[in-house]
Every structure is written in C-alpha cells, then in structure tokens.
Amino acid sequence: MIRETIQQSSRNITKSKTVLVTGGAGFIGSHLVRKLVEKGREVIVIDDLSSGSLENLSSLGLKPSDFEFKKIDLTNYSQILECLKEGDIVFHLAARIGGLKYLHGTENAEIAALQANLAIDANVFRASLEKRVEKIIYASSTAVYPLDSQYSAGAIFSEEDFLYQPEKQDPRFRFKMDIDPDGGYGLAKLLGEVQLSWMKNIKIAIARIFNVYGVNEPLDEKSHAISDLIRKAIDYPQKEFIIWGDGKQTRDYMYVSDCVDALVKLEEKISDYQPLPLILNIGSGKATSISELAEVIIKISGKNIKPKYDVQKPVGPISRTADIRKVKETLNWEPKVSLEEGLKRTFVWIQKKIT
C-alpha cells in the first residue's frame, strides 16, 4: 500500500532536489525517510548503523529501491564530503544518543557524547559548506536549554528564552544568557546550533526536539522511559513494575509521526523565512508525569498492575516542556496523535518485537 502511495505522489513531482538524511536508519530518521519517499523525494540515507538498522526502514514498508543507502561513519570527513553535491538538502539527524542508562552518566559517557557529536556535526557542516548545499535541517534538542531551570516544577521553554542576538556590526549571533546545557550531549547540540548560525550562505533550520516516542524507538540500553515502562507492563507479573523516582517528574512527549511532519514542514518553510536560522521547538506543549504515563500504559496492558517507586534511581530534570506557540504559527502545524493513541501503537509494536 505504501508503494502505491509513493508512486502516486512521485507523479506529482516535477523538480526535486536530492535529500540526504544522516541517521536515516535510526528511530526518527527512518520515519522521516518514509515520509520523504512518500512525498516523491529522491532520498539518500547516510548511517553507520551503529544504533540504527536497515530493518527500521523495511519494517516501515520501505524497499531498498525506494532510497539510496550509504554506510558512512560521519566522524570521517572525506566520506561525507564524497556524498554531498551543490544544492543538496541535508536533514542532519545522526548523533550519538544517551538513554536511561546515561542519566547522571559517568564522566566518560559525557565526554564520549560530546566528542563524537562535535566531530559528526563539524564534518557534516564543513562538507556542506564546501559543497554548497542549499539547506540544512538540524535535529537539536531540548538538552540545549538551561539545566538549572529544569530542576524546578513547571519549566516551560520558549525559543525566545534563549535566542541569539544579532549585532548590527557583526553578522554572527550572540547568546542572550549564560549557557547551561544538559551534559556533553546538550553542549554538542548547542555548539552545533552556534556553528549553523554562522553559516550565512546555507538556509538553516534548527529543530529543538523534545521527547519523541513510537515505533522503532530503541529497546536496548538507549531505551527511554516509555519503552521501559511498556516492557515492564508486558513482563508483569513475572517482573515487578518499578517506576524510577517518585513519578512526579514531567516530560513533553510527542509521537514520532508528529515530529516528522514538523521536520518536513520546516524544510519547506525555510526558503521564505527571515531572519535565518529558523529555530523552533518541536514538542507536544504538554507536561506529562511518569506516573500519568504509567497509568495509561497499565490501562492499555489490561493488567491489574500496582506500580512500585524506587526513589534511589536517577530521574534527570524534574520538568521540561516546550512552548509550541512559535512552531504552530510558523509551520501551521500541531501534534495530531494523542498520548493514548501513540502509546497504544508503541505498545503493540513492542509486544510484537519482544514476544
């Protein structure tokens, strides 16, 4: 069925630039590739398959002939340089990501995330400049926002809290406030944003993505709270259903298809947006606590689960929610998939995957 949709939309395309998706075999990347292929775009997937897989793409109904795949390690500059050409559009999603096990991670984990992501970003941006690509859409993160504010309840972040202030005499952007990103991962994303804000000849969009969940999300040590809770519900009563912390910590959860819709619209919108870069929060705009998540997941499981709380376990920031007024207005976008519906889809997928 997806094939028919793809062929139909391809007929409507008269002129299409090559779109490269770095990290295209990953969780969000695989859904983005499918969406772009459905829209009839010519897509090149770049990934070293360190955490992503080609199965992520095939399980979404994509065939090898729907896109070109290049297995490339982006820490190697010459490899990415060879892939790009003038006028390309680059969705840059490849990154070394943390997960539950990285919370309050060791120093080594922080440094490893910082070094790998700095190298990946620098190579992609340098090659993009050299080859004169037309657009870069960068997957940034909520982790760039100041961490100290995330340790109090009700932290809502707006792009304006943290905008760079251009000065008349100097085209480079400036920070408006002290920086305090979340770990090596957050610092690398922040420095990625800074590099991009200085690249004046490329159209730049920066997506500050909040917590994304759904089909294809990692189930290994990089897993996040949602897949972890779903697994616990599936394993119950053989294993206990334990919530890390007191369950009051909140996050902004968005189903992956909503995130991808926003990224695609972001690319379409860059051309007529000024001043660049176009920086947008991509999130649901709603704070959901871990206890509320658990409640919905338990309901979906149909089991009579009594959660236990382990307050000794690390929970990370207490709250981080996106202010999504700017993205709604700029892209005429808003999340469509309710938490209950998204969790049902994810639950069914994880159940199939692990049983």
Ligand X SMILES: NC(=O)c1ccc[n+]([C@@H]2O[C@H](COP(=O)([O-])OP(=O)(O)OC[C@H]3O[C@@H](n4cnc5c(N)ncnc54)[C@H](O)[C@@H]3O)[C@@H](O)[C@H]2O)c1
Interface with ligand X (CB under 6 A): 23, 25-29, 47-52, 72-75, 93-97, 120, 139, 141, 209, 211-212, 218
State the minimum distance, in angstroms, from the CB of residue 77 to ligand X.
Answer: 11
Distance of CA 37 to the CA centre of its chain: 19
| C-alpha to C-alpha distance for 286 and 292, rounded to whole angstroms | 12
Other beta carbons within 10 angstroms of residue 332's beta carbon come to: 9
| C-beta closer to ligand X: residue 38 or 182 | 182
Shortest reach from residue 93's CB to ligand X, in Å: 4
* Minimum CB distance to ligand X, residue 105 (Å): 15
Which residues, other chains included, contact 46 with Cβ-Cβ below 8 Å and sequence gap of 6+?
A: 20, 21, 22, 23, 24, 70, 72, 74, 80, 83, 94
Burial class (CB in 10 A: 0-12, 13-18, 19+), 355: exposed
SS3 (DSSP) at 229:
helix
Percentages of the chain per state (helix, strand, coil), in multiples of 5: 45, 15, 40
Residue 21, SS3 per DSSP: strand
CA neighbours closer than 13 Å in the CB half-sphere of residue 7: 5
CB of 6 to ligand X, least distance (A): 22
Alpha-carbon distance 303 to 293, whole Å?
15
Provide, rounded to whole angstroms, the least separation between the CB of residue 279 and ligand X: 14
Determine the residue type at 297: I
Cβ closest to ligand X, residue 139 vs residue 343 = 139
- Looking at the Cβ atoms of 144 and 233, the one nearer to ligand X is 144
For the CB of residue 21, give the shortest distance to ligand X in the complex, in Å: 10
What separation, in Å, do the N-terminal and C-terminal C-alpha atoms of the chain show? 26
Distance of CA 126 to the CA centre of its chain: 22
Nearer CB in complex with ligand X: 50/338: 50
* 8 vs 58, beta carbon nearer ligand X: 58
**Minimum separation from the CB atom of position 24 to ligand X (A):** 7
* Partners of 205 in beta bridges: 137, 278
Residue with Cβ nearer ligand X (51 or 301): 51
Given the complex with ligand X, which of 210 and 241 has the nearer CB atom? 210
Backbone angles phi, psi at 199, to 5 degrees: -95, 90
CB of 64 vs ligand X, minimal distance in Å:
17
Choice between 27 and 40, CB closer to ligand X: 27
